[in-house]
Chain A
Amino acid sequence: MRKRKQAPLLLSAETCKELTELISDYVTGQLKPSLKREFEQHLSICPDCVNFLNSYKKTIALTGALEPTTLPAKVRNNVLDFLRKKMRRIATFLFCLASQFSG
């Protein structure tokens, strides 16, 4: 017997659990307008979710404010030295090869 195709599950923001699943798309402005309305309706009656949302947003803001690790000058010089040496070796090899053929 052929299996009937299951209808895709429709997301909603009716419960706190469902809202939490959508929170990432909400804060990055990626929720469809209908879902966004539902999301905000839930927020207007649920202080727990408002508090959760605030702490979620704060976490993202703090992560974004993490200072980047700067490339140390020593590492920069080491890597550039390595690359120059390798490139020089290849250039020498190609030069020798070319002079063999031309000679």
Chain B
Amino acid sequence: MQVSIDSGFSMAQHPSAAISMGELVSRRTSKAPRVTRRRKAGNQDIGLIERLKAGDQAALEAIFNLYSGKLYNVAHRILGEAADTEEVIQDVFWTVYRKAKSFQGNSQFSTWLYRLTVNAALGKIRRSKRNKEVEYEEFLPKFQDDGHHMVRPVVDWSDTLDEKYARRELQELLGQALSQLKPLDKAVIVLSDLEGHSDGEIAASVGLTVSAVKTRLHRARLFLRGKLAVHLGHSAA
């Protein structure tokens, strides 16, 4: 049996590799519609921000209606607390009103909104000093000196997961693991894997280089993978 794992590549030896790439990269490969959507949103944003700069208060409510849901989701995933998230959302939109005139349009308006949200959420965590950071090391893959996996064979648990757990349990399990990420990593993974932003957009939103975003994203994904593996009784390595 030949199972295609990626375009032009055939996995004759490993039918277990059949997990669909489509399932995984659908957010990133469906770029055309997203770009069109963003462009439309971008044009709409320009109109709204111009109205807001001219002092039209109804424009702020229109911006709130467009973005509050998405920004709330991002802030809540980073903070985990409903009360803190409400404060952050309130601060963000009040800042948008006060600082609308300083928005030059060098980045997308939505990128500015995400940057305000991420900064406000991270600032709240810094000030509260109640962030318990989990050490990643235990959940990252380990290798021998010759570069092979430390624990072999590596088990593919991807298929068994859906059989073992109900959808709700899986969501809780992963949500819990996600909440243990370092705040900035959480922001990066939420913007990437939940919101479908590109690495460049995330870099602009969180104030990192694209390469730093990629590094954080990779480590965060490895950590989440390790947490799931350990939960299933396998080695993270």
Chain A interface (Cβ < 8 Å from any Cβ of B): 14-18, 20-21, 23-25, 27-29, 40, 43-44, 47-72, 75-76, 78-80, 82-84, 86-87, 91
Contact = CB atoms under 8 A, between A and B. Distances in A.
Nearest to A62: B174
A61 B158 CA distance: 10
Nearest to B27: A64
A21 B211 CA distance: 13
Given A51-B153, A51-B155, A58-B157, 4 more contacts: A24-B218, A68-B194, A79-B64, A87-B97
Interface residues of B, number: 67
B68 interface: yes
Given A18-B147, A48-B154, A79 B93 contact: yes
Given A16-B147, A75-B89, A78-B86, A55 B171 contact: no
Chain B CB count within 10 A is highest, among A48, A49, A71, A80, for A71
Contact of A17 (B69, B143, B229): B143
B170 A63 contact: no
B128 interface: no
Contacts of B24: 27, 57, 60-61, 64
Contacts of B157: 55, 58
Nearest to A14: B147
Interface in B34-73: 57, 60-61, 64, 68-70, 72-73
A41 B118 CA distance: 40
B167 to A, nearest CB: 8
Contacts of A76: 68
B130 interface: no
Given A18-B147, A48-B152, A55 B225 contact: yes
Nearest to A59: B225
A20 to B, nearest CB: 6
Contacts of B154: 47-49, 51-52, 55
A69 B73 contact: yes
6 shortest interchain CB distances as A-B pairs: A15-B147, A58-B158, A51-B156, A48-B154, A24-B218, A17-B143
Contact of A55 (B57, B61, B153, B158): B158
Contact of B11 (A21, A50, A65, A84): A50
